[in-house]
Amino acid sequence: MKKLLVGIGIAVSLLTGVAFTNTNPASAAGGRDCDTNAIVRCGALDTAEMQTKYNQNTSGDLPAVFAHYGITGADISNTANMKMGRVYKDGRIEVDGNTVATGARSVGRENMTGSNPVTIAGKTYYERSTNVSFDSASIPAIVIMKNGVFHRAIITSCGNPVVATPKEQPKPVAPVVKAPPVTPVEKPKAQPENCPIAGKENLPKDSPDCKETPQVLPSTGPGALLSAGAGISSLTAAGYYFSLSRRKLLNSFLNR
């Protein structure tokens, strides 16, 4: 009888130990963990539920725990920065199929092998890698992104915060905008200037004929002078003989 009681006691102890071991690691691949390890009891499956439970703060320590891991009330309220993703046992965190962080570590309320104690606001919590705390290959999470870079994550099944090393994301390549072809603009050809001399406007300015035509003056050479002199002499002679004839006529009249 004594041996039977001892055997039952050992069996109960083993069963209890197994149960304890299975309640600590996060094992809900898509459901809820309502055990004593959950920071947010039974978790929050979407951003709206997370906001509600954070504001309710039933456990009384959510703002302190979340703030210790870099998650503020503003982060919880800003759903524009929240993406649904997955945290993997190997430490990867993915959003839309892209790895945004590696080396994930989560925090819980219960101790387990591989954990490091962390004191927050006078209480002790336990931080460990997801390789230690996960039973499942991956668990859904709310991933907080800032400017396209991983900031923090919250496991949906238990509300446990997750820190990790952000993976540098490829910067978007600016599209190459080809400049439109430049059409050469022909400069207007300089028009030749016309001759400014009246009557020769149709000639180019640099034409040898673009010059004043000299006026022909009366001839004033020796021949012209002789002709002029001869004319004057003739007139003088005619005047003389006319005067002489008049004088003779007058004398003839007086002598009568």
pLDDT tens-digit map of 45-61: 999 999 999 999 999 99
Which of 145-149, 211-215, 220-224 is most confident?
145-149
Q: 20 and 141 in contact (C-beta within 8 Å)?
A: no
Residue 87 lies in a domain: yes
Q: Which residues contact 93 (CB under 8 A, 6 or more apart)?
A: 85, 86, 87, 99, 100, 101, 102, 104, 141, 143, 150, 153, 162, 164
| pLDDT at residue 21, as a whole number | 36
**CB neighbour burial string for 200-229, b if at least 16 within 10 angstroms, e if fewer:** beebeeeeeebeeeeeeeeeeeeeeeeeee
Mean pLDDT of 9-16: 40
Residue with tokens 């430490």: 91
Residue 108 lies in a domain: yes
Q: Considering the chain, what is the average pLDDT of its residues?
A: 81
| pLDDT at residue 195, as a whole number | 81
Residue 206 lies in a domain: no
pLDDT tens-digit series, residues 74-121: 999 999 999 999 999 999 999 999 999 999 999 999 999 999 999 999
Residue 98 lies in a domain: yes
Q: 44 and 159 in contact (C-beta within 8 Å)?
A: yes
pLDDT band at 17 (very low <50, low <70, confident <90, very high): very low
Mean pLDDT of 157-177: 90
Q: Are strands 93-95 and 149-155 parallel, antiparallel or unpaired?
A: unpaired
Residue with tokens 């055990």: 35
| pLDDT at residue 93, as a whole number | 98
pLDDT band at 246 (very low <50, low <70, confident <90, very high): low
Residue 201 lies in a domain: no
| pLDDT at residue 25, as a whole number | 60
Residue 77 lies in a domain: yes
49 burial via Cβ count (<10 Å: 0-12, 13-18, 19+): middle
User: Total structural domains in the chain?
Assistant: 1
Residue 1 lies in a domain: no
pLDDT tens-digit series, residues 173-220: 888 888 888 888 877 777 778 888 787 777 787 778 777 777 766 656
Mean pLDDT of 116-136: 96
DSSP H or E segment with residue 88: strand 82-88
Residue 87 belongs to what domain range? 27-166
DSSP letter at 172?
A: P
How large a percentage of the chain has pLDDT more than 70? 72
Residue type, 77: S
Residue 59 lies in a domain: yes
Q: 90 and 131 in contact (C-beta within 8 Å)?
A: yes
| pLDDT at residue 218, as a whole number | 61
